[in-house]
Structures are given as C-alpha cells and as structure tokens.
Amino acid sequence: MKRQFLFGLLILISFGSYAQSEKEDSLQMRAIYDEALVRGEAYSNLHYLCKNIGNRVSGSANAQKAVDWSFDLMENYQFDKVWLQEIMVPNWKRGSIENCFIQDADGNDIGLSITALGGSIGSNGVLAAEVIEVNSLEDLNNRDNKEIEGKIVFINQAFDQRFIRTGSAYGACGGIRWNGAAEASNKGAIAVINRSLSSKDDDFPHTGSMGYRDSIPKIPAMAISTEDSNFLSQFILDGNTKMSLELNCEMHPDTISYNVIAEITGAKIPEKVMVVGGHLDSWDIGEGAHDDGAGVVQSLEVLRIFKALNIQPEHTLRCVFYMNEENGTRGATAYAEWAKLNEDEIPWVAMESDAGGFTPRGFSVQADDIYFEAISEWMDLFNPYYANLLTKGHGGVDIGKLEDQGTVLIGYIPDSQRYFDLHHSDNDVFENVNKRELQLGAATMASLLYLIDTHGLPEKIKD
C-alpha cells in the first residue's frame, strides 16, 4: 500500500510539474504575441526596405544598400554581436530592353507581357522566327528536332490547381524555367518563352532563375504572363506564328557582397547556436516584399522580441540575412562552410522564413523523427494562434546547406494560397503585405525558438 501511495504521489508531482511548465510556456508565448502585435517593428522595417531601397538582386547597388541598412539596424538594436560575412556573388543585369511581339494575319504587331529570366543572355538585336507551342518539357523532348529547329519555343505548362499547398504546384512545373532553354536549344530552338509560374491569371510576368549547360548553345529565355500565355496559345491555334523579340540582359563578372549577421549570445550553452533567417536579396522586379523581405524582417524581429521581453536565451540565438538565394545560394554556402570550420560552435537548430508574410500555419521539420516528435509535443500551445500545423518536409533553401552537419532544420509555414500570385513579379510590393499577418508570423517563429531554447531537444541516439 505504501509503495502504491508513493508511486501515485510521484505521478501527481510529475503531472503537476508538467502542468506548471505548460502554463509558464503559455504565458510567455502570450507575451511574445502581445509584443509582436502591439509594439512590433517588422512591418515598419519592411516598409523601409521596400520603399527606401527596393528590389535587391545580387550584385546590384540596391543589394549593397540593403546590406548597409541591415547592419546599421542590427547595431541600433544593440545585439551582442553584429558582423558581415564577405562573399562573391553573380552579377546579372536585366538591361533596359524587353520586347516581344506576335504578328496577326493583317501584319499588325501585338505586344506581349514578358520578362527576362534571371541569368538569360541577351538576343543580340531583334530575333524573328516562328513560334511553336509545347505543353511540357516531356512534350518538347518528344518532338522531332525538325519541328523545333530555328524556332522560338513556347512552353505553356500551367500550375496544377489541384494542389492545396501551392508550393507543390510550383515544384511540379519549376523545371520548365530552369531547364527550358537548354532543352529547347538542344533541339535547335533560337529562344524559349515559359508560361509564368503563377497560380493566378493576370498580366504580370514572373521571373526567376534559369540555367544553361556548357555543352549546349545558350539562347535567350523569358517568361510570359499567364493571361498572355492563354492569348498566345489561342493565337498560335488560329495560325498566327510570326514572333519577334529583343532582350539586352547580360552577365557581368562576380562581385563582392555580404551576409549580415547578428546574435544574442547564449547565457548557459553559447556554443549551441539557433539560427533564424531569410534571404536579403530579391529579384529585380517588384520590391521583394514577400520574397523575402518578409522573412528577413520576421527573423530580426525574433531577436528584437527576445531582447524587448528580457528573455535571455540559454543557447546562442543568431539571425542571418543570407545574400544570393535567388540565383546561386552563395551566402548560404559560405555560412555553412564557415559553421563547419568553426569548431567552437555547434549549428544546433536552424529556422528559415522564405514562403511569404501571410497568416502563420505552423512549421515543417527536416530532421530525424526523434526531433519531429519532440517538437510535436508543443504544438497544442499554438492552438490559440491557429498555427499548429507540423509536417515533415523541407526546411528551406538557405538552411538546407547545414543539413550534413546534423542541424535540425525548421521551415516556417505561412498560408500559401496567394504567394505565387505575387512571387517574382512586379506585384511583390509592400502594399501586398498585411501588417497583422506579418507580425503574427514573427511571434510564431519566436515562440517555437523560445520553447526549443527552454526545454531543449533530445540527444540523437547514435547508430
């Protein structure tokens, strides 16, 4: 009887301790959300980045302005350390000419909404040829070379609207942008036009990275808006195939840029580092508001919230603004290489925000099941904030470079339904970011990092 009583008492004590801890966590999270919503600075920081600096393609003057502003802002917050990490980045310039016309049956030129893909060569004057439509890279590769030779290839592959998470639709057709020029050139095409990777029908073309292969001649590559994709498809079906285009974009030698880094040094275990970040660069159309201005200001807001609430992390909390995610990931690679060589630190946890500043939904975890299960035990605490989704999956492009060092990779997941309406287009501007959604996201990120810092994660059992 005495033994049973003691066992029951231990259960009650354990349950009481757990309940007390959960209550403390809930109260601290409430304070984090209150700070972000009432006194948050992410939105005002994003306004400055978008309106005073603007888009920030790697190697540009605006990218350097963004570096300088970020460094000064981090120093003004008086974090424990702020520094720049020098890197070499690609230096592609769009140029001032982006024209594409199709000729109707009466010989009239009709302009189309196009934009050069990042990394494309110029056209070296006006290119005029027949345009041929294909529906996918597979369709292109199945065509006889004689059908393609000397023509402009139009790859008209639309988003699959059946995907609930729009990133899956983006991934399913992303290959047309990266591989389209090489595949078309391999069959003798002189240029390629891709349907914009967007879930919305509008007149805004969406840019993004494309690639060449050394063994295949380089040809100009551009994206056309979804509305004009539909128009062009019908135009070709009606027998109108004469097209002319001109681009004067070009690649320049690599140039110097920087990652911008700040940290609050851990009070008890400073050698274990929790990284939170996004990419400072953007494409050179729009303002890079959702991609990824939102991500960097949310990441910085995490550190500001910790400091404002006097939350002294046990582990080092570090914010990294990566440079050159869009067309090279040079910043992420440089940071990962530095982390690998820095024997005084352990890159313990890394979180990335690079999916827009929309309403928070939760997180994805790219790590062993033991970490996923540990994090899942805290998700009920996010129920009041409707941000309790936890999935196994991709952590992020930039933090992915840390994977081979055993880092637990966590991707912040906002609602995805509108992201690719704006992504890489002139529509990605500050006005299309909602203040409350942005600041809720920062609070959600800060809350999970607080829980990880406070309670730790289990040690991985070695094989």
Q: End-to-end alpha-carbon separation of the chain, Å?
A: 42
Catalytic residue, from 325, 403, 431, 459: name it. Answer: 325
Paired residues of 195 in beta bridges: 224
| Cis peptide bond prior to 292, omega within 30° of 0 | yes
Distance CA 183, CA 192 (A): 9
Query: Is-contact 185 219, C-beta < 8 A?
Result: yes
How far is Cα of residue 454 from the mean position of the Cα atoms in its chain?
A: 28
Residue with tokens 């439509």: 133
325 is catalytic: yes
Burial 154-186 (b: 16+ CB within 10 A, else e): bbbbbbeeeeebbbebbeebeebbbbbbbbbbb
Alpha helices in 165-217, H assignment, sequence order: 166-173, 175-186
**76: exposed, middle or buried (Cβ count in 10 Å: 0-12, 13-18, 19+):** exposed
**DSSP type of residue 58:** T
Distance CA 117, CA 2 (A): 76
Residue with tokens 């949310």: 298
One DSSP character per residue, 323-346 reads: S-TTTT-HHHHHHHHHHHH-TT-E
Helix (H) / strand (E) containing 309: none
| Maximum distance among all Cα pairs of the chain, rounded to whole angstroms | 100
Residue with tokens 């909390």: 317
Closest by CA position to 284, among listed 451, 100, 410, 120: 120
Residues forming the active site:
325
